[in-house]
Amino acid sequence: MKQVLWLSISLMAASAGAATIDRLEPAFWWAGMKEPSLQLMVYGKGIQHSTVSLKYPGVRVTGIQKTANPNYLFIDLQLAADVQPGQFDLVFSQSGKEQSRYQYRLLPRRAGSAERQGFSQKDTIYLITPDRFVNGDPGNDSVAGLPDRLDRSNPGGRHGGDIAGMQQALPYLQQLGITQIWPQPLVENNSAAYSYHGYGATDLYKIDPRFGSNASYQAFVAAAKKHGIGVIQDIVVNHIGVDHWWVKDLPSNDWLNYGGSFQPTNHARTTVQDPYASDADKKAFVDGWFVDSMPDLNQRNPLLATYLIQNSVWWVEYADLSGIREDTYPYADKNFLTAWSKRLMTEYPNFNIVGEEWSANPQVVSYWQRGKQNPDGYVSYTPSMMDFPLYYALLGALTAPESWDAGWVKLYEALANDVLYPDPTNLVLFEGNHDTARLFSLLDNDVDLYRMALVYLFTSPRIPQLYYGTEILAQSPKQRDDGLVRSDFPGGWAGDDRNAFTGKGLTAQQQQAQQLVKRLANLRKNQQVLQQGKMKHFSPLDGVYSYARYNDKEQIWVFFNKNNSDSLLPQSRFAELMPAGAKATNLLTDQAVQLGSQLTVPARGTVLLHILLP
């Protein structure tokens, strides 16, 4: 059955004062979901005064919930385990007289939907700022009724990238070795300015028309799947945009934190788990707003909590997602986060969710990962988190001079923090994202350090994530500048002087970087030892850091040398794992290497060796 987002609403007025239905969300659902309950939010003038009835086998109304706003009504439905796909009328009546009806549909699920496989250590994630990637459909650059119109000269304006552009880029991404795409939020952001980033939602069930439509998003995910690429949706449960349709007529006085008045968050993220934190500081962190244009949602309201949970499930089922990236993770109510993550992972046991906890402290990040035994008893069901601690350690290792307590040793010691995580290999390690300066710029345009960073990213015991443009040495100011960090991808617009898809206008250095990423991403894609192998590393010595990923059949050895001269390493140092006299292949050059008593690591060099065990 074809899935259509907006179903027709049949309104049959019985009198001049009939209640109207302006919105009903979710607009449709699916038969056969594990969770039998479904709550519908109905919005329309005076709708609260209506009673609701329906006649359909396996569906019954179990309750009606109301708020102080007469324009909202919440309908609780119970769906039998054997309910069949089909349609039925929700009949709204007042004083025994029918006022209006809504034709609701239960759709059939895709085969194997509940068993879908989420992203994992087998994948490389490619983060895209859709507005800045590829403009596949210039016809939607500016849309009537949406005031933030095309202005490519403005770093903070709309540039025209869209879903059609991402779909056009699928062959390029497949060849690059990408297996998962994470676009920044695509839902409607109908604000007057600075709306391109997607984090100020004005409609949680609708794709922004400047990106495309719900149907085109669904088609994009299907096309990506044919290229062996899954799609991770960026979802925000902490806040909305100030122009969200709720804000004009709030469902209840406690729908937004601080009664809908701007109070900034203190960003004191440790208060969530700090046994000494004051209640005032905890409240300021969780309830405070990021900015006055992003009202903070109160997930302690059970009606809002259910709405947000169902919205996430709806997108997974509708778009056929392989993962969710949850923005500003710890800022939402933590008990809600437990319920939200539990519902998703119960509905989709093999799914994956990665949360954004922007902290360099591994104790803070590990608190949120599924399986962590927290001192305060907090339980999470979110399988993955963004590994900010290791990201910062990697940057520090590459940019600091070598000494007994700086340089490589920081990365070496950071990995020892894996004892804090219940599942460290399920963390997502990144070289940069839409909120950080570009990697190549942070490394002072040093191609040798860039190579080390990328090799570590793809060979570490993590899930690697690449930000679009990193493969062609995209640059930015070192200080945060969102508009310049999220620069237009060369070749994504007609008439571009440079084209990353064809190589036109790229420097030799950029082309070499692109080939390096292609080699490493495809290596990660095809080498099981990098996906699931064990890890053993050796303490840094004289500016050289080395480690191995290994299993019973093969080993991949990595050597980094930050020195300005070649380093000679005795093979005996690695004798506990490396076979004496083994034959190896340098995976960066495809050259055969005969291991002897010494191993040479070139000045400012990276060596990547593959050994097949007898």
Active site residues: 327, 356
Residue 68, SS3 per DSSP? coil
Residues 484/155, Cβ–Cβ less than 8 Å? yes
Longest dimension (CA), the chain: 94
Q: How many whole angstroms separate alpha carbon 596 and alpha carbon 610?
A: 15
Within 10 A of 81 (CB to CB), how many other CB atoms are there? Answer: 10
Cα 47 from Cα 22, distance rounded (Å): 10
Count CA atoms within 13 Å of residue 446 on its CB side.
13
**Is residue 204 within 8 Å of residue 314, measured between CB atoms?**
no
Q: Which two tokens stand for residue 482?
A: 């969102």
Residue 176 DSSP code = H
- Residue 479's Cβ-side half-sphere holds a number of Cα atoms within 13 Å equal to 0
Q: Is the peptide bond before 26 cis (omega within 30 degrees of 0)?
A: yes
CB-based burial label for 452 (10 Å; 0-12, 13-18, 19+): buried
The letter for the amino acid at 348 is Y
- Kind of pairing between the strands at 29-30 and 97-107: parallel
Which 3-state string (H, E, C) describes 130-173?
Answer: HHHCCCCCHHHCCCCCCCCCECCCCCCCECCCCHHHHHHCHHHH
Q: Is residue 574 a contact partner of residue 538, using CB atoms and an 8 Å limit?
A: yes
Q: Are 459 and 556 in contact (CB under 8 A)?
A: yes
Q: Which residues contact 573 (CB under 8 A, 6 or more apart)?
A: 538
DSSP 598-611: EEEE-TT-EEEEEE
What radius of gyration do the chain's Cα atoms show?
26
Contact 256, 239 (CB under 8 A): no
Amino acid at 136: G
231 forms beta bridges with 181
Please list the residues that pair with 354 across neighbouring strands.
325, 384
Rounded CA-CA distance 538/592 in Å is 24
